[in-house]
Structure 1
Amino acid sequence: FLSRMSEILSLASNMSSPDRQNVGEIGENLAARFLLKNGYRLVLANFKVPVGRNRRGATVTGEIDLIALDENVLCFVEVKTRTSDEYASPLAAVDLRKQRQIIRAAKVYRKTFQINRTSFRYDAVSVVLRENRRPEIELFKNFWTEEKFRKKTWFERIW
């Protein structure tokens, strides 16, 4: 993995107009390297799992870009990569729908591997790849929580 990083960095610095898939892959590799440099221990990359069905009955897949440990906290990391942040931050694409899909995938991951008592959080990494410049990488710990997706209950008595 790390042996490919110099190759990836040179690819990132030499790209003229990469396709979207390449941009995403380069960003995820740079984010993984960034997390390692900041003390994270990588557990898994690109965890994909079916998380339900949409209104038309098609299977919805949830994907977690990176799963890592920050000390004893399990982190589900969403990586967003863009070639420019002129109009909006890459993290603008981590909308409520995307957050909900990641939460569902994380629940499946925790249930599958019987991870019940470990603290966890949802982090995001923003990567901006501009031509002829070093990549800009920023980590946002605890970018969102499950709390806003919990169903609300109302216990008011009606008279």
Structure 2
Amino acid sequence: MVVSWILNSISKDIAEAFLYAESARDLWVELEARFGESNGPLVYQIQRKIASISQKNDTVATYFTRLKKLWDELNTLDPLPVCSCDASKKMSEKNASYQLIQFLMGLNDIYDHVKNQILLMDPLPTAAKAYSMVHKVEKQRELNSEGTELESEGVMAVQATESKR
């Protein structure tokens, strides 16, 4: 059952080479041996995209989602080593710190005050927590601008009414 699930999860051309695998474990070991190595050029390309990505005209949500997708893709191709020692935890924390900095560096300048507040926090939050904070500021800005637009429309309506008198 697991063998058929794995075979149905990969392209038909590749699956044909593994039709006679004796067990799911054998199939998995063979797939890992053939395709499990990190793809250097692809890792380079993703790292380059991460380094150059910025918010520009995107919402904070769209920007963070694009960045998160690249981080996840990179982590799939080049995962952090796993061990039971303290070094693995420290590497994971360091990676989280890099992700936070990458996220903050790509934000538009209108979020400089929030970036500064986040960078002053001890300990530093995760990129996801920082996103949540910046997203709230973005929503507040939208609400404030909507309120200003409604106020302007109200003032124009009053002026139009008064000019007709």
Could you tell me the TM-score, scaled by structure 1's length? Answer: 0.27
The structure with more radius of gyration: 2
**Could you say which structure has the higher helix fraction?**
2
**Could you say which structure has the higher strand fraction?**
1
Q: Which has the higher contact order (CA 8 A, sep 6+)?
A: 1
